[in-house]
Amino acid sequence: MRQEELIGWLRRIKKLALVEVGKDEEEHITKDMRKIIEFFNTLMEINVEGIEPLFMTPRKEPLTREDAPVKGMEQSEALLNAKEVINGFVKGPKTI
Amino acid sequence: MDREVLTLSGLRAKLAENPKFLYEYIEFIYDVIDAVEGKVKAFITLRSKDDVLREADRVVDKLIEGRAGRLAGALLAVKDNIVTKGLRTTCASKILSDFIPPYNATVVDRILREDAIIIGKTNMDEFAMGSTTENSAFFPTRNPWDLSRVPGGSSGGSAAAVSALEATAALGTDTGGSVRAPAAFTATVGLKPTYGLVSRYGLIAYASSMDQVGPIGRTVTDVSIILDVISGRDVKDATSTHSRGGYREATVEPFKVLHPKLRVAVIEELVVGGVEKPVKHSFLRTLRKLESNGIDVIWLNMPISRYSLPAYYIIAMAEASSNLARYDGIRYGLHESVEGRPWYEVYTNVRTRGFGKEVKHRILLGSFVLSAGYYDEYYLRASKVRKIVRDSLLAILREHDAVISPTMPVLPPKLGERIADPLKLYAIDINTVLANLAGVPAISIPSDIVNDLPVAVQLMGNEFDEVRLVALARVVEGIINLAPLVPPLVRRYV
Amino acid sequence: MYSGFKVMIGLEVHAQITSLKTKLFCSCPSNYREKPPNTNVCPVCLGLPGSLPVLNKKAIEEAVKVALALNSTPSKVLIFTRKHYFYPDLPKNYQISQYDGVGSAPLAKGGYIVISPTRGVEKVVRIRRINVEEDPGRIVYPYGSISASPYSLIDYNRSGIALLEIVTEPDLESPREARCFIQKLLSILEHLGVTDPKLEGAVRVDANVSVGGGERVEIKNIGSPKDVEKALAYEIARQLSIIRSGGKVIRETRHWDKSKGVTIAGRAKELEEDYRYFPDPDLPAIPIDKSLIDRLLSELPELPDERVSRLIREYGLTRYVASVIVTSGKDLADFFEEVVRQCGSPQLVSSILVNELLRWVDELNVDLREGIKRLNKDRLCKIISYYNNNLINIKLLKNYIKEVIVNNAEPEALVRQGYVTIRDCRVLEAVIDEVIRENPKAVSDALKNPKVINYLVGQVMLKTKCRADPRITNELIVRRLRSLGNVS
Ligand SMILES: [Zn+2]
């Protein structure tokens, strides 16, 4: 991947992941990223045609739950770690 | 302190005779902590001796009445990515630095039900992303065997605490070797169970399809005792499964469950390549010891294992980018005032300030491998490689009692030695990630001291066959005949 | 066709599985409505670190039932997928949903619903897929609108409620068809007992619409079938006016502002959209066995199409009337059958429900359920018996229905107030006298042209507030005119 290409996708991915990296860090990060992506690219050497992907090891007896209600947390517990609370609501940012 | 009582099984025997010995034991542990914790820095949150003594009263009563649980009196250190109700749980991240969980992880409920006492929450690489415990947002933990070296990671705090006699045993978590690596570097025993054997409910997720909670102790028997307690199906974790139990028993009489003629496989790719010379030579010596004790050692190849590391990192980062999306500072964690500010600005600021560098890198790369246009090339391809890895490894395990390898390809590195270059950091996970990709259990046991530094071997077993794995590990431990090892730093206490 | 332009509409209907007692992935009660904020939550639906989802077993059955009822093919395995986007109502900043891609699968693919948008017309609307997913939390805006509020208030009580997402192909060609489709769909869900569409917020619709092959515009979060019709009508008019003035419709997401009756542009796309779907590693795939499907098929209750056929067969209703009754909601169809069981007269009852009840409910803008509650079985049967016993005429009957629905009046009270047909000839003759006195011109016209008699009857009706028996009145007027004719 060329440097411009890397910077381009970094810009896009930062917006997807909502994570910023400083301008000063950018060069360092793209250097690391390039290395890591090249490391990832070694997988291109393998022929994976016809192989079923394995996303998680198979479970013999997948667990589900009965439809029986259980009282959850008290409001005070639910809001224990929220820093801004108004009348039992969590105060959130502007949504537009 | 008497060396016998340093192990969990020894402590249990002693307390059965004399319940009040618990007070003496607690005083001893806190004396050691007072002396070494300032150097080792294993804990993020250490509970006060008074609190622990108060809890001990209840345990002593139960011991006297003969109704104490299987972990009565054990002072367990719990990795700080396992939630503890009312006890700060940070994941060694700034973004969770003041998070007080309103609930307990299932493993925490299970150890408390068996009358363990939690002594504190241990340091780790932030969100378990690292192999050295240098990536903590707070401070690095040091190796009790050599304070200039790393203890391994990411459960470095848990392993260092056990190694430095600051805890009886510990809970760690293992996604790509995070229990086994620090166990190997600190001369303790670390077990990563089969994926699903131990509930993940309350384990703050890094890579959900590979994360497992695992015990760290001084002996194979100690980790087996804890496994007996923490394993088994949990209605709160859909990926959890039934546990056969009987792990401790299997270590007491290993040949009740093992075939008398043991066959262990050595995958050549895990021994050549990146393994440093002293480690390799030590490993070959260990193999010769096993052979001279009648164990067959079979060398074979598993070419796909060369690709397990990139496949592992792609999958782990993809899942991490998803699991870490929830940290936005609204419901918990690092916060910024929201008034008058659009959500994406608040979120971006909180996440940029709250996550450390390595975590940010993994989130970015994880988002990348899942993004439109790259999913097939990276995430999907890695998941197919994972399938090949699992099938190949299971095929080997069907024919052998275990796969043996050095746990870590290197001796404990100096602080700062690996962390600067990500690929050099990732490279030391080469032998541990296989078990996580395949979902099989693996245990690391101390095998040698080289240049005054611990070296360990790893045994990988068949899935859900921890009974035979710990039995075999006990046999190997007996042949090697080192445990339990005490680092020079704390030798004067025993 | 809209002035020569082809309109294509596709819908995404989100319907809560209200038959469940708990949320989709945790044991919190599903009944979140009217609870104080953040009192119906647990670590799972709050997305606390370390929490894990566990699937509600009954949700599988409910969802598969819906797939079968919509002629859709259920997947062989149930796979959940994470859909990533940040938003303050989404506690994990990803939604556990489903996806049609490698390693993932929607609950069901394909299927169709037959709608009857106008008398005698039937149309097949294809279903693309059905997903099961979790509902986000609820955002309240302290200053009314999104843009006026400097912050938001978040309540997670709804977070994690089980939702079905039913996506159609763009087969619908008018707002009316879209409304019909949703009504039919909701009636099916109601007959299945899966969704109670009357619960506030239980159904939300996103509508995609394009005009004349132009770009597709998505209108988000519309609350009712009626609003879907209105929002689409507005949006089509908006797009047409752009096209006519030579402009181009841009691809965008708009919001339906119910109070103003317009669609408004959503926020500009300054953020990337890429959902980064991948199978949720917390939720192992669950096989959907053929035996389960067979059992659910055999247990399916009577569905709207079968019910329409039965109403035609058993009660002699026309197809149109029967389908209006059934697609207006299961409650109405149940009400119809209950009333007829008690007091017969299916033709009269069906006509009252379709022509009077639905009209008043619509005009008053009240819930159909409220209308049925007011016009309950007892009241309606009483009114019908008054009519059958000639105590009231058809005009009074309609007025009774109106009074009962609009003013919640008791039919007996109306009778007590004397609001009944006047059949007493002396009373009627007195009124007729008055009418003849006041309308000399009409009277003389009537003598030449008998059709004008109806006008005089109408005047009597007016004076008696419809209470005059029309037949008797007519006879009396004719008799009277005849005598007048003799005099002159
Ligand atoms: Zn919940």
The ranges assigned to domains in chain C are 7-296, 302-416, 425-484
Q: How many CB pairs (< 8 A) connect B and C?
A: 105
Write the pLDDT tens digit of every residue in C13-22.
999 999 999 9
**Is B452 within the bounds of a domain?**
no
Distances B43 to B38, B47, B230 between C-alpha atoms, Å: 10, 10, 22
Instruction: Flag whether residue B87 sits within 8 Å of chain C, measured between CB atoms.
Output: no
Question: Which chains are within 8 Å of C by 3+ CB pairs?
Answer: A, B
Q: Which residues contact B382 (CB under 8 A, 6 or more apart)?
A: A40, A43, B310, B311, B312, B314, B315, B318, B369
Touching subunits of B (3+ CB pairs, under 8 Å) are A, C
Closest residue in chain A to residue C24, using alpha carbons only: A67
Domain ranges, ordered by start, for chain A: 1-48+75-96
* Banded pLDDT at B144 (limits 50, 70, 90): very high
CB contact under 8 A, A67 and C37: no
Question: Is cis: bond before B154, omega within 30 of 0?
Answer: yes
For range C252-256, the mean pLDDT = 90
Report phi then psi at B443, rounded to 5: -135, 140
Omega of the bond leading into C170 within 30 degrees of 0 (cis): no
- B85 given a catalytic annotation: no
B59, B107, B112, C226 from B244: Cα distances, Å: 27, 17, 21, 58
Place C271 in a pLDDT band, splitting at 50, 70 and 90: low
Tell me whether strands B212-217 and B169-174 are parallel, antiparallel or unpaired.
antiparallel
C-alpha A58 – ligand 1 centre gap (Å): 26
Q: Is residue B176 part of a domain?
A: yes
Q: Which of C110, C235, C209, C120 is nearest to C168 (CA)?
A: C110
Q: Residue A56 and residue C281: Cβ atoms within 8 Å? A: yes
Q: Is residue B310 part of a domain?
A: no
pLDDT at position C182, please? 96
State whether the Cα torsion C433-C438-C440-C441 is positive or negative: negative
Using the Cβ of C145 and the Cβ atoms of chain A, whether some distance falls under 8 Å is answered with no
Distance C69 CA to ligand 1 centre (A): 29
CATH class of domain segment(s) C425-484: mainly alpha
Burial of C122 (0-12, 13-18, 19+ CB in 10 A): exposed
Is residue B489 a part of any domain in this protein?
A: yes
The reported pLDDT for the residue numbered A22 is 82
Q: How many CB atoms lie under 10 A from the CB of residue B259? A: 10
Please report residues of B whose CB lies closer than 8 A to that of C54.
Answer: 235-238
pLDDT band at C486 (very low <50, low <70, confident <90, very high): low
**Alpha-carbon span B293 to B264, nearest angstrom:** 13
Active site residue B447: no
Active-site residue, B178 included: yes
A93 to B348: CB separation less than 8 angstroms, yes or no: no
pLDDT for B182-227, tens place per residue?
999 999 999 999 999 999 999 999 999 999 999 999 999 999 999 9
Kindly give the pairing relationship between strand B75-79 and strand B117-122.
parallel
Closest partner residue to B105 (CB to CB) among C50, C87, C274 is C50
> Cα B384–B388–B394 angle (5° rounding)?
140
Count of beta carbons in the 10 Å neighbourhood of residue C232:
28
B285-299, C70-84, C270-284: least confident range:
C270-284
Average pLDDT over residues B367-384: 95
Per-residue pLDDT tens digits for C388-416:
988 888 888 998 999 999 999 999 988 88
Listed in order, strand segments (DSSP E) in C136-285 are 138-140, 152-155, 162-168, 203-211, 217-222, 252-257, 262-265, 278-279
Is the confidence at residue C488, as pLDDT, over 70? no
Q: Is B349 an interface residue toward C (CB < 8 Å)?
A: no
- Coarse DSSP helix, strand, coil percentages of chain B, rounded to the nearest 5 percent: 45, 15, 40
Q: How far is the CA of C157 from the centre of ligand 1 (A)?
A: 8
* H-helix segments, B293-421: 308-323, 343-354, 357-370, 381-399
Q: Which domain holds residue B189?
A: 3-260+476-493
Residues of C in contact with A58 (CB under 8 A): 284
Which amino acid does the sequence have at B257? V
Burial level of C246, CB count in 10 A (0-12/13-18/19+)? exposed
Dist. CA B121–CA B91, nearest whole Å: 10
ipTM over 0.95: yes
C-alpha to C-alpha distance for B356 and B81, rounded to whole angstroms: 16
- Collect all residues with Cβ–Cβ distance below 8 Å to C103 and sequence separation of at least 6: A53, A55, B380, B383, C79, C278, C279
CA dist B123 and B130 (Å) reads 12
| Alpha-carbon B123 to chain mean position | 12
B239 inside 8 A of chain C by CB: yes
User: At C29, phi and psi to the nearest 5?
Assistant: -60, 145
Q: How many beta carbons lie within 10 A of that of residue B171, not counting itself?
A: 29
Residue C216 Cα, gap to closest chain A Cα (Å): 22
Q: How far is CA C457 from the centre of its chain?
A: 40
The number of distinct structural domains making up chain B is: 1
Cα–chain center distance at C423: 42
Q: Running DSSP on this structure, what letter comes out for residue C367? A: -
In the predicted model, is pLDDT for residue C446 greater than 90?
Answer: no
User: Domain of B233: which CATH number?
Assistant: 3.90.1300.10
Question: In this structure, are residues C159 and C134 in contact, taking their beta carbons and an 8 Å threshold?
Answer: yes
Ligand 1 centroid from CA C32, angstroms: 11
**Is C86 close to B204, i.e. CB distance below 8 A?**
no
